[in-house]
Amino acid sequence: MLKLSVNEIINKIQKEEIFEAVSSDYSFTLKIDEYVPYVCGAVHDGHQFRKELWSNCLHTEYERWYEEDPATKAMVQSHPIVIAGTDSRFEYDLNRAPETAIYTDAWGKQLWKEPLSDKMHQKSLAKHANFYKVVHVLITKIEEKFSTCVVYDMHSYNWKRWDREVPTWNLGTSNVDSDRFGNAIESWRSILEKMPLPNGIKSTSKINDTFQGNGYFLKYITQNFKNTLVLATEIAKVYCDELNQIMYPEVVIAVEDYLKTELKKHAETFYKAHKL
């Protein structure tokens, strides 16, 4: 893996180079093993939280982990193009617009002992902006090369906080063109429902049941690229003990193994149906 500036990353994409890199400020990673008409993203995978913010934060390390999406990058890491955040959403949230990306409170609890200075805001927002500069160039390149693209926007959610039965997988589609892409959405839902999972975990999948797909990553790509479908895909945290911060690697690996073949097949079918 290389350590590259945003401009160096952008230059490599524009030249269609194969590479794997972390940004020079360590805020995100991008791997391109091959240029293909699909991208995997894990914007909430990160847990880094810069040290100058520690003493001012009211949330514990566990409380931050609880609301992040650990292992979502690992679930898709075998695919050719993977972009993932490495910073915690508690510093800045890549799935929110810049004006709301820095929390003042989080899930009902005040986040900062003292309000952040403008300098602290700008340092975080610069990383947010750089991520989207790269996303824009990446999707531009994919659409130029293949005319269409599908983005698998991977997330997870805390299922134990719900007071009703919730699906193992939820697809949020309220901000995509369901008329145009309805077959691709339903086939993805069906694929997830068939996923075999260990430990007696049943794989169920629904559309807009727990979340509706209102994230900025989806909205940014959808609004700027008319031939790209973003599939906001949430897995319930059945792959960990969310209350005791214990990961279940056998479940994570089961998800990854299944998606190695089934996600790729879905992307290939999407491309055949929607290439111009």
Query: What tens digit of pLDDT does each residue of 179-194 get?
Result: 999 999 999 999 999 9
pLDDT digits (tens, 9 = 90+) for 33-70: 999 999 999 999 999 999 999 999 999 999 999 999 99
Q: Rounded mean pLDDT of 206-212?
A: 97
Interior CA angle at 158 toward 219 and 106, to 5°?
Answer: 65
pLDDT of residue 69: 98
Q: Domains, the chain, ranges and CATH?
A: 2-274 (3.40.630.40)
Fill in the amino acid letter for 100.
T
What average pLDDT does this structure show over 258-264?
98
> What CA–CA distance (Å, rounded) separates 153 from 42?
6
pLDDT exceeds 90 at position 79: yes
Structure pTM?
A: 0.97
What's the mean per-residue pLDDT of the chain?
Answer: 97
On the question of pLDDT at 276 being above 90, the answer is: no
| Strand 246-247 versus strand 240-241 pairing type | antiparallel
Report the pLDDT value the prediction gives residue 175, as an integer from 0 to 100: 98
Helical (H) or strand (E) element with 170: strand 169-172
Name the nearest CA neighbour of 210 among 237, 244, 242, 246: 237
Other CB atoms within 10 A of residue 100 CB: 10
- Tens digits of per-residue pLDDT, 87-120? 999 999 999 999 999 999 988 899 999 999 999 9
**Which single residue is written with the structure tokens 């909430």?**
44
- Residue 201, pLDDT above cutoff 90: yes
DSSP character at residue 117: P
